[in-house]
Amino acid sequence: MAKVEFDPFSDDVIHGDKYALYHRLRDEAPACYVEKWDCWALSRFTDIWDACQNPAFSSARGATTAHLLTKVQPVIPMLNNMDPPEHSRLRAKIRAFFVPRRVRGLEPAIRQVVDELLDPLEERAEGDFVEDVAQPLAMAVGCMVIGLPSEDGAYLRDVVGRFFDRDPATAGMTEAGLAAMAEMLDYLTRISNARRGKAVDEPDPISVLHEWVGDSGQPLSDDEVAANLQLLLVGGTDTLPKVLANVLLRLGQNPDQRAEVAADPGLTLDAFNEAVRLDMPTQMMARSLLSDVEVAGEKLTEGQPVLLLYASGNRDEREFSRPDAYDLHRRPPRTLSFSHGTHACIGLHVARKEGEIALAEILRRFPEYSVDESGLERYATEFVQGYSRMPVRWRP
Q: What is the CATH number of the domain that holds 345?
A: 1.10.630.10
pLDDT at position 125, please? 87
The total number of residues written for the chain in this structure: 396
Residues 271, 273, 274, 275, CA torsion sign: positive
Q: What radius of gyration, in Å, describes the C-alpha atoms of the chain? A: 21
Structural domain tally of the chain?
1
Evaluate whether residue 61 is within a structural domain.
Answer: yes
The pLDDT of residue 51: 98
Domain range for 38: 11-393
**pLDDT digit string, tens, across residues 183-216:** 999 999 999 999 998 888 888 999 999 998 877 8
pLDDT bin (cut points 50, 70, 90) of residue 1 is low
Name which residue leads in pLDDT, 312 or 77.
312
Mean pLDDT of 386-392: 95
Cβ atoms of 294 and 50 closer than 8 Å: no
State the Cα–Cα distance between residues 56 and 290, nearest whole angstrom.
Answer: 5
pLDDT band at residue 77 under the 50/70/90 scheme: confident
Q: What is the pLDDT of residue 15?
A: 85
SS3 at position 195 = helix
Distances (CA, A) of 214 to 164, 205, 244: 30, 15, 36
H helix runs in the chain, sequence order: 11-14, 18-28, 45-52, 65-68, 86-95, 100-118, 129, 135-146, 153-163, 175-195, 205-211, 222-253, 255-263, 268-278, 310-313, 348-365
Closest of 206, 171, 173, 208 to residue 187, by C-alpha: 206
> Closest Cα to residue 357, out of 183, 4, 15, 112?
112
Assigned domain for 379 exists: yes
Asked if the structure places residue 245 within a domain, the reply is yes
Residue 6 belongs to some domain of the structure: no
Q: Are 389 and 140 in contact (CB under 8 A)?
A: no
CA distances for 358 relative to 84, 114, 267, 365, angstroms: 35, 6, 13, 11
Whether 209 is in a domain gets the answer: yes
Task: For 286, list phi and psi in degrees, rounded to 5.
Answer: -125, 155
Asked if residue 179 is part of any domain, the answer here is: yes
| Residues 309-361: tens digit of each pLDDT | 999 999 999 999 999 999 999 999 999 999 999 999 999 999 999 999 999 99
Q: How far is CA 190 from CA 17, 74, 223, 373, in A?
A: 42, 20, 9, 41
Q: Is residue 259 part of a domain?
A: yes
85 CB-near residues (< 8 Å, 6+ apart): none
Residue 1 maps to a domain: no
